[in-house]
Structure 1
Amino acid sequence: MKFNLLRITLVTAVAASLGSCQTQAGNDHETATATLLWTGEVAADGCGFEVMIDGKKYLPANEAAIDDAFKSSDSTRVQLEFVRLQEQIDRRCGMLPQPRIMDAVRVISITPL
């Protein structure tokens, strides 16, 4: 009986700890001046959008959240609210679809400067 109670307590503590880490990571919104790069439609051998923050490129996990108006320029300075994601994205695109694994962000809001 004591063993089962200890097991239940341990499992509950671990689950609560993991849950709190996920919640905290999900609320880590950042704001930065960034460069939004448009590389062309994936269907036309482009690679979609990339975001450059402090000299490092990221792939937006939710690319559909970026307005099509940003496709009119190859490079646009923007104010970006985003969340850095733990996982990377492997997007195969372009003329030679080789692995293109990059760090990822989730776009919260984007405003041209």
Structure 2
Amino acid sequence: MRIAPLLVTVLTAVTMLSCQNNSPQDETRLTTEATLLWTGEIAADGCGFEVVIDGKNYLPENEDAIPAKYKERDSTQVQLSYIPLKEPIDRRCGMIPQPRVMDAIRVVSVEEI
């Protein structure tokens, strides 16, 4: 029966592909001082977190990585580890949702300074 060797080959290839690392090879983790801006809960007409690095504003793609204690103030100086992302984020928020396209980052860790 010729189907068995073909089936084994296909299953082996699928298994190998599923075990590959799906993260981009050029992810570079950076660490810097930054300012976290809390604009309010998106569900309550806020726009969540923004991160200011060297005078430029970014949107974090993973706001859940930022501890809730940073929601207690409008602005907090932090030591931030992050990965710059290639694609911007379009977050529509606020009382009148307008397109809000900004460069994006993935937050790795946050520590207050």
- Displacement of 1:92 after TM fit? 0.2
What's the TM-score, normalizing by structure 1?
0.78
- Using the alignment, how far apart are the partners of 1:81 and 1:74 within structure 2? 20
Aligned-residue sequence identity (percent) comes to 60
- Using the alignment, how far apart are the partners of 2:60 and 2:46 within structure 1? 15
- Using the alignment, how far apart are the partners of 1:92 and 1:61 within structure 2? 13
Q: Answer yes or no: is 1:77 the counterpart of 2:59.
A: no
Equivalence map 1:96-107=2 (5 Å) = 96-107=96-107
- Using the alignment, how far apart are the partners of 1:29 and 1:43 within structure 2? 30
- Displacement of 1:34 after TM fit? 0.2
SS at match of 1:70: helix
Aligned residues: 91
Aligned residue in 2 for 1:46: 46
Aligned residue in 2 for 1:5: none
Structure 1 ranges of 4+ moved more than 2 A: none
Question: Could you list the per-position Cα deviations for residues 17-62 of structure 1 after superposition, in whole angstroms to 9, with x for gaps in the alignment?
Answer: xx9xx31x22x10001000000000011000000000000000000
Aligned letter for 2:51? V
Higher CA-based Rg:
2
Aligned residue in 2 for 1:64: 64
Q: CA RMSD in A?
A: 1.1
Q: Return 5+ residue gaps in structure 1 as ranges.
A: 1-18
- Using the alignment, how far apart are the partners of 1:43 and 1:107 within structure 2? 21
Point out the structure with the larger strand share.
1
Aligned residue in 2 for 1:94: 94
- Using the alignment, how far apart are the partners of 2:108 and 2:49 within structure 1? 15
